[in-house]
Structure 1
Amino acid sequence: MFRSLPNSDFQDLTFTDREILATATHPDFRAWLTRIRHIGGCQHPVHLVGHTLTVDAGTGRLVRAFTSAEQPHGRLTIACGNRRQSRCEPCARLHQGDTYQLVVAGLAGGKGVPDTVRDHPRVFVTFTAPSFGPVHRHTTDDPCRPSRRRRGLVCAHGRPLWCLDRHPSDDPLTGSPICGDCYDYPAAVLWNAHTRDLWQRLHRNLYEALATTRGMSRTAARNTVRVGYAKVAEYQRRGAVHFHAVMRFDGPTVDTPPPAWATLALLVQTIRTATRRVHLAVPGLDTILRFGAQLDIRPILPGNGSDDDLNERAVASYIAKYVTKPDVAGITVDRPIRDAITISVLPVTDHARTLIRTCWTLGGRPEHKALNLRRWAHQLGYRGHIASKSRAYSTTYTALRAAREEHRRDQADELLPDAPDAITDKQWTYTGNGHTAGQAMFADAIADDLQAARDAAHDARAGGEATGTDTARLAMPTNRRSRPLGTKGGQG
């Protein structure tokens, strides 16, 4: 504890020092530290007041009482659980780990999934968005658009169709249109807004393509082969969403192998055929929405393979990384936009600002009311989950969180007494969120210490398991940049 200071000395301290001192000298400081460490150093915790009472139904005896009055500062502090790294890095890191476990379980088994899935045909696929007009590209050695046949040519608005500059990835021009008037902004926004519908049509088309190839009905195809998947959405610099997905052939259930004719080659052919058949007409838009022509499909091998091969851990790490980093600097923002005036002061590029304004404008039209575009303007119209999976692909986030909470209770010896006929009464009320300035500094220090301990354990484990390959480094997701797989998100 800090010693108490005379009032005059306290006034001489800087604001930061006063906040730290006020936090550290509070009577509940040590208990508060323990609680913040328990929730991983969450940067924006949620505060609740109330109680949970457990009563034996037969005798009416109170088995256990848990109240906020027993907690530091008289309130229960829980983690915010935000998956965005820009909002809460500790919670995002935890969500990233859950995503890794979810994806890798569907590739290598575990968490209730049999390890026989490693023998099923599996691929890593990148589904891109179509073109809405030529854009500046991220290049290092070659000019952006050096084509000789474009030199001297101009668009209908008198702007050149070529660019001899070299754009780094952080150049605001990267991903922006060659001509903003030629770029189809409404189609770009409505593409993002309808990706969920396009994916549903793709999933349905997979079974239609299988049925056509095998000469059977779609129902028979679904009863014979299942296509399991896990996918994540990523924004390109041009503001269009594309998907990275793991796709797998199963038998009727995940624990049964697919028939012998359901080969890796058939899976690749089925995905290509189904993707080409996806189309969607949108009211008020002349363009038919489809997936982009660029479709990258790579097989996932059960072993380590060579440096150029995809393995289970590398793919799971790659997908987990994008779950917590869905936002692209200068392209999207991490909070909803409440009014049109705010758009003009957002820290985004001019291209992104136009996309957001297009969302706001289209959101006021009756034919697009169901899309709720103004609510999702900060995400350029995209209204789906960043990560999703088919029902039988692997375990769920809920199961992973429940297992982690049970483990924590075991570690803290907080298991409830056996009371099969107990009645639980829960009454909790939200009272606020966040830290004071002083609390935030201690919470950040706790988060840094926990991460340093995890990194040290990870490096020690990787060093002990390394056998001449870098695969062990991909065992768990970290903040290090992963090797790009599929289509690069930084390019236009």
Structure 2
Amino acid sequence: MNSIHPSGDLQGLTFTDREILTTATHPDFRAWLARIRHIGGCQHPVHLVGQSLTVDAATGRLVHALTSAEQPHGRLTIACGNRRQSRCEPCARLHQGDTYQLVVSGLAGGKGIPDTVRAHPRVFVTFTAPSFGPVHRHIADHPCRPPRPGRGLVCTHGRPLWCLDRHPSDNPLTGSPICGDCYDHPAAVLWNAHTRDLWQRLHRNLYEAIATSRGISRTAARKSVRVAYAKVAEYQRRGSIHFHAVMRFDGPTPDTPPPAWATLALLTQTIRTATRRVHLAVPGLDAILRFGAQLDIRPILPGNGSDDDLTERAVASYIAKYVTKPDVAGITVDRPIRDAITISVLPVTDHARTLIRTCWTLGGRTEYKALNLRRWAHQLGYRGHIASKSRAYSTSYTALRAAREQHRRDHNDQKEALDDIDTITDKHWTYTGNGHTPGQAMFADAIADDLQTAREAAHEARTGGERDEP
């Protein structure tokens, strides 16, 4: 039977029991629990020491003080704020919720956006990458690549160009090249590295396409109609980035309707025309970078349509889901790679390993120095944001976080009202570490689970169990 020795030693207890007991018997345990609950059960919190002093600008009177000495364990613990679910699930959930609010407010109004945007033409678009060589595919109830009449059966390296297997979507072979020697790994990496530039050209082309269709100048087009967007990047199994985007026609501002001629049909045609015109020449690469031929454009409905229709909530949920799950198992990793030796032991597929090595190799070449490919090798060369939007589309992450912090302050009984006086805040904080002890991690996980259960119950009560997922 487990017991605690009179001297205080923990005899016969497992490591887990000792860690839990050590954490629970610490004098600061209750205050620490309250702090971890305050930061949502963050799994990798950041620890700071220092102080923030707020004084009345007119009198110099100290009106508020926050010091690490008054905090549990003598340090201020704050949430890591990591958006990656693989790094911190509680913070990722919070980021996912912010993304949902950001996207849905641009579709249905709210957060400073008028609800009249629901009447504006809006579409959900998927922009794909071009082909860099044939790959193994997952096609439900169909073989991977059956032989096609009129096409060769083998590549120039003597390998078959067909495959009759039916690969599961999570099979490591899915997305890998039919022939690794035929696959253009440098072009695939450089595509990922230049998607930011390609998107900027696409956005510029949108107004050129509008101007051409209306027979007006691009300046006149911009003054009469605006294209607002929010987008998220997703990795395909072959390791290439593609974009999911919400795109909307506005008048000069979001609270003004677009001209009568700025229809859903024109928005669709404008996107198709602008996408076809995107091209980018890259030094050392024979091919011209373009978007893929597959371009899926679907209208977004203001209400609840049929099962095949896209609704505002479904689109917002879809985009928010990918913001916190940018890493594809076996394709990317969630931390930068520090040296070439590490590449050989990464938990990725052989195809992904080749792409990462290609990043590392190209990163050493002078013409690609500005791309910083070695820094972004863990993301296969992609160096853009997972989610981004145009300024006028909706609110911002900064505004959402500020509103949440204000809400917390408003519900803090110990705060002193500072709205009526001018104040100056002097902050001095030093980073001292991050993370939990094993025992603390168990309590933090339990807090995170409790908070998530409460959120799910509240959501079910509010929506009657209706799912937001498309």
TM bin, normalised by shorter chain, reads over 0.9
* Residue in structure 2 matched with residue 216 of structure 1 by the alignment: 216
Equivalence for 1:430: 431
Q: Distance in 2 between matches of 1:391 and 1:118?
A: 18
Structure 2 residue matching 1:230: 3-state secondary structure: strand
User: Does the Cα contact within 8 Å between 1:336 and 1:377 map onto a contact in 2?
Assistant: yes
Change in CA separation of 1:345 and 1:29 when aligned onto 2, cut-off 3 Å:
same
Q: Give the C-alpha shift of residue 416 in structure 1.
A: 3.5
**Could you tell me which residue of structure 2 aligns to residue 374 of structure 1?**
374
Whole-angstrom CA distance in 1 between matches of 2:54 and 2:152: 79
The equivalent residue for 1:453 is 454
* 2:282 matched residue in structure 1: 282
Distance 1:321 1:180 in 2: 32
Which residue in the other structure is 2:70 paired with? 70
Aligned-partner Cα distance in 2 for 1:29–1:352 = 45
2:121 equivalent to 1:121: yes
Which residue pairs with 1:444 in the alignment?
445
1:35 equivalent in alignment to 2:35: yes
Deviating more after overlay: 407-416 vs 380-389? 407-416
Aligned positions of 1:237-316 closer than 5 A: 237-316=237-316
1:19 aligns with 2:19: yes
Looking at structure 1, the residues matched to 106 and 8 of structure 2 have their Cα atoms a distance apart, in angstroms, of 63
2:164 corresponds to 1:170: no
Question: SS of the counterpart of 1:102?
Answer: helix
- TM-score (normalised: structure 1): 0.93
Cα deviations by residue, 1:180-238 (Å, 9 ceiling, x for unpaired): 00000000000000000000000000000000000111011001100000000000000
Q: How far, CA to CA, are the matches of 1:180 and 1:83 in structure 2?
A: 33
1:460 CA displacement = 2.0
Distance across 2 between alignment mates of 1:449 and 1:226: 44
**1:479 corresponds to which residue?**
none
Q: In the TM superposition, what whole-angstrom CA distance separates every residue of 1:273-317 from its partner, at most 9, and x where no partner exists?
A: 000000000000001000000000000011111111111000000
Alpha-carbon distance in structure 2 between the residues aligned to 1:218 and 1:7: 82
Partner SS, residue 203 of structure 1:
helix
Give the Å deviation of 1:54: 1.2
Count residues in correspondence. 467
SS at match of 1:83: coil
CA contact (8 A) 1:85 1:325 kept: yes
Work out the CA distance in 2 between the residues paired with 1:4 and 1:12: 8
In the aligned structure 2, how far is the partner of 1:34 from the partner of 1:378? 36
Task: Name the SS for the 2:369 alignment partner.
Answer: helix
Greater Cα shift, 29-38 or 150-159: 150-159
**What residue identity is the alignment partner of 1:116?**
T
**Alignment check: 8 A CA contact 1:151 1:162 kept:** no
Matching of residue 473 in structure 1 with residue 464 in structure 2: no
Partner of 2:352: 352
Residue pair 1:138, 1:168 contacting (<8 A) in 2 also? yes
| Cα distance in 1 for residues equivalent to 2:132 and 2:313 | 35
Match of 2:322 in 1: 322
Contact 1:151-1:161 within 8 A present in 2 as well = no
CA distance in 1, matches of 2:360, 2:233: 22
Q: Alpha-carbon deviations, 1:339-366, whole Å to 9, x = none?
A: 0000000000000000000000000000
What is the one-letter code of the residue matched to 2:467? Answer: R
Give the 3-state SS of the residue equivalent to 2:400 in structure 1: helix
Alpha carbons 1:63, 1:417 under 8 Å: kept:
no
Extract unaligned runs of 5+ from structure 2.
none
Structure-1 separation of matches of 2:8 and 2:385: 54
Cα distance, 1:8–1:426 mapped onto 2, change above 3 Å: closer
Alpha-carbon distance in structure 2 between the residues aligned to 1:150 and 1:40: 60
| Letter matched to residue 103 of structure 1 | V
Aligned equivalent of 1:228? 228
- Consecutive unaligned residues in structure 1, runs of 5 or more: 467-471, 475-481, 484-492
- Residues in 2 aligned to 1:232 and 1:414: alpha-carbon distance in whole angstroms: 40
